[in-house]
Amino acid sequence: MMTDPTLAFTWALLRANLRDVRAIIVNLLAPVAIVVMFIATGNREGMIFIFPLVLSFSVLFGGSALMVRMIAWRQGRVFRRLAVTPVPLPNLILGLILAQLVVNIMQVQVLLALGVMFGLEITLPQLLVVEGAVVLGSLAFTAFGAALSTVVHRVDVASTAYVLIMMPLAFTGLLPDLSGVVRLLPSTMFTDLVRIIDGPLDVPTVLIGVGGLLAYTALFLWFAGWRFRWD
């Protein structure tokens, strides 16, 4: 039995997330369907080419679920009731993010296993970098969802707002040979790390990506805490 209120809160959220099998299946359906489509047609090269794109999208859009939950809780005055519990505000936000983070990472592992099962060749160093990128990327974009929930106030437009903001970032991050400010976007840093799954292990890219995603995570968490409202 957990005695720490923050751990107990995070664990309760995680169990609720894992019990929501329907949501997990829906989130996995599109990326898995894309991979299976290439496998079913015997297009192994196409599957390997598209795999980093599918993996990137799965992580980039992982913050949407948390954003919707936080807005729904605010509208339902759940946060107001939580205000009288022993869980401090920073721990409350962190618990929400960590619980969603675990689910997002587990979903990506299913995609990775599926890719390896059907011909994706990846070395141990590449796997370690990609797994690290998945953790950091999931953390950054889940934190982004928490930050965005403080400026979007309606559940019915939450997912649309997230997609409208993230879609341009996702595609600019996937375009090759970009320079300037685009290279400083979190989506670009993340996709540069994911591309290592089928390319050379470039140390400067790894260092820039890791440092950048950590910095963006800190920025998004700060903004989420700064703009947080109980109702």
Rounded-to-integer distance, Cα 86 and Cα 92, Å: 10
Contacts with 13 (C-beta within 8 Å, 6 or more apart), sequence order? 95, 96, 99, 100
The answer to whether residue 78 sits within a structural domain is yes
Range of the domain at 108: 5-226
The answer to whether residue 196 sits within a structural domain is yes
- The count of domains in the chain is 1
The answer to whether residue 231 sits within a structural domain is no
Indicate whether 204 pLDDT > 90. Answer: no
* pLDDT, tens only, 18-43: 787 777 776 777 777 777 777 777 77
* pLDDT, tens only, 177-194: 556 667 788 888 888 888
Burial class (CB in 10 A: 0-12, 13-18, 19+), 216: buried
Q: Provide, for the chain, the percentages of residues in helix, strand and coil under a 3-state DSSP scheme, each rounded to the nearest 5.
A: 80, 0, 20
Confidence of residue 1 (pLDDT cuts 50, 70, 90): very low
